[in-house]
Every structure is written in structure tokens, then in C-alpha cells.
């Protein structure tokens, strides 16, 4: 039975019709599922938290690796269905919960072998990534299906940086594993997708600047689109413009540059210079 036939059969059994408003586009290409699992590089002693398993198709592929799969699903109708579907799978655990409010610490996960995977609704993307990176105990690897343009923005380099790229790259090394056209989904979405892999930096690799100070400066720098750095930083941090520009020049950063052109190490240097305490 093809993945598409299986998904249509399961939806029919549940009496559910995919809702575009909820981002319900089901992946129907087995080869793409294999790419997601391959990118995770799962070992039998790993634990993978799956975000929004839906009908459990990705869950099945993840479980075949031998890793422990903890699938967190918000829809209680699907939770009951998934629990029945995987009742004989010893390495699969189904949990009902909203992933954005989920207390990851309740799972007592070992940080050395805990990973995250999911084919998520596009409207959740930024919020979910921020939640995983900022609020959760850090996983070692995250592999997600995202909108193509968002994945490209996350992986950008100067001079095409954005606050999203800076925010993700502060915590992780991102890479695009594969592009996935809309025809690989049922129903097909209006945009193409990409599988993105985030390899989290270990404690020593995360920039030394405190998160709060670093992001306060970065947010100020990106506050005015295509405006010069000196203007944005002085306004956003409530500093005299002449003082901000003098400080930037002292570390070799031209205040006329734009935020999109800066590297992470330059942001760290700027944060330590403008907000030394």
C-alpha cells in the first residue's frame, strides 16, 4: 500500500478532512520520510521527540530505527488513534499536549542522545523553533520540515542575515538536507518545503555573551529594515548616536553598515562593547 493510499484510508476511518487553515498537509513520499530519519542519524539508544505526529506515518519510520520515540500530539482524536495504532510498539510513547506549552523537563531526557523531529504546520515554525532553542533543555539535533523560504532564511550568511538567522545560528549550525516540492504532500500546499537540520552547539561553542544582552543588541540592530547600524543601535538601546558610532568604530565596525551584513562574532563584539555590564 502506498503512503498516499494509507493516509487517505486512515483519514477516512477517522472521518477527518485535511484543513489547509491548520496546515494539515500530509507527506506522501516514502523517500522523503527516509531522508528525515537519515538526517537524525538515530542510534538504538537515542530518544527522539516527535512534534505533532498526526497519523503517525513519520512515527513508524522513526520507530524502525530502534530509537525510543515520544510523540506529542495536540488533537485528542488523533491521540486515541495513535495509542491504538502503536499499542504493540514498545519503543513508541504517545503523549497528548500542545508542543508550544509542553514541559520538556517532565520527560527527564538525557541531553546526550535526545533529538527532535517533525513535519510541522508552517504557521508554527518560528514560535516552535524559538521554544525548542530558548526554553527546552537543549537537544543534540533537530530535524524539521519547513517552508522552503524560511529554511533558506535560517541558513543565510552575510549580507543576507536576518534576526531569525542570527537567533537560530546563535544556538545551532543549520543546514538544508533536501528541498521537497509541494507535490509530495496531500493535499499539496501552495509553497515548496525543505528539510532542515539543526546541530546544536555544545556549551563551550555557544557564544560567551549572555543571551539576554546578545539578543537585546541584535533586536535593536534589526529594528529598522535596511537602516544603518548606528541609527538602529542608538535608537533601540537609547544611546547617544555619537557615542554608539564612536564605540562601533573603535572595534572596526562601520556604523553605516546594515544589520544584514554582520557575522555572529561581530554581534558578540558589539554587544560586549555597547553593553559591557
**What gap in Å lies between CA 96 and CA 90, rounded to an integer?**
18
Q: Is 272 annotated as a binding residue?
A: no
Distances (CA, A) of 247 to 44, 222, 241, 268: 52, 18, 10, 14
Q: Is 210 annotated as a binding residue?
A: no
Q: Is 27 annotated as a binding residue?
A: yes
Q: Is 184 annotated as a binding residue?
A: no
Q: Is 25 annotated as a binding residue?
A: yes
In the chain the first and final C-alpha atoms are separated, in Å, by: 62
- DSSP secondary structure letter of residue 113: S
- Please tell me whether residue 96 adopts helix, strand or coil conformation: strand
Q: Is 108 annotated as a binding residue?
A: no
- DSSP secondary structure letter of residue 208: S
Helix (H), strand (E) at residue 115: strand 114-119
**What gap in Å lies between CA 86 and CA 63, rounded to an integer?**
10
CB 3 within 8 A of CB 30: yes
* Residues of each annotated binding site for S-adenosyl-L-methionine: 25, 27, 52, 73, 98, 119
* Residues of each annotated binding site: 25, 27, 52, 73, 98, 119
Amino acid at each position: 500500500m502506498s503512503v498516499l493510499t494509507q493516509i487517505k484510508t486512515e483519514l477516512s476511518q477517522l472521518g477527518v478532512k485535511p484543513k489547509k487553515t491548520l496546515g494539515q498537509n500530509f507527506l506522501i513520499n516514502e523517500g522523503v520520510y527516509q531522508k528525515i530519519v537519515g538526517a537524525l542519524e538515530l542510534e538504538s539508544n537515542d530518544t527522539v521527540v516527535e512534534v505533532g505526529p498526526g497519523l503517525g506515518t513519520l512515527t513508524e519510520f522513526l520507530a524502525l530505527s530502534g530509537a525510543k520515540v515520544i510523540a506529542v500530539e495536540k488533537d485528542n482524536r488523533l491521540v486515541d488513534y495513535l495509542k491504538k495504532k502503536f499499542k504493540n510498539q514498545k519503543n513508541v510513547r504517545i503523549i497528548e499536549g500542545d508542543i508550544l506549552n509542553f514541559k520538556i523537563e517532565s520527560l527527564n531526557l538525557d541531553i546526550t542522545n535526545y533529538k527532535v523531529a517533525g513535519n510541522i504546520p508552517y504557521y508554527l515554525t518560528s514560535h516552535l523553533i524559538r521554544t525548542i532553542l530558548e526554553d527546552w533543555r537543549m537537544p543534540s539535533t533537530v530535524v524539521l520540515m519547513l517552508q522552503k523560504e524560511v529554511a533558506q532564511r535560517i541558513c543565510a550568511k552575510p549580507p543576507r542575515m536576518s534576526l531569525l538567522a542570527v537567533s537560530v545560528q546563535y544556538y545551532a549550525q543549520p543546514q538544508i538536507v533536501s528541498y521537497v516540492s509541494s507535490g509530495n504532500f496531500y493535499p499539496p500546499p501552495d509553497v515548496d518545503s525543505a528539510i532542515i537540520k539543526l546541530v546544536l552547539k555544545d556549551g563551550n561553542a555557544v557564544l560567551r555573551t549572555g543571551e539576554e544582552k546578545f539578543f537585546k543588541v541584535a533586536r535593536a540592530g534589526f529594528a529598522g529594515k535596511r537602516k544603518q547600524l548606528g541609527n538602529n543601535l542608538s535608537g533601540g538601546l537609547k544611546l547617544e548616536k555619537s557615542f554608539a558610532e564612536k564605540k562601533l568604530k573603535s572595534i572596526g565596525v562601520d556604523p553605516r553598515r546594515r544589520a544584514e551584513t554582520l557575522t555572529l562574532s561581530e554581534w558578540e563584539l558589539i554587544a560586549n562593547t555597547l553593553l559591557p555590564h
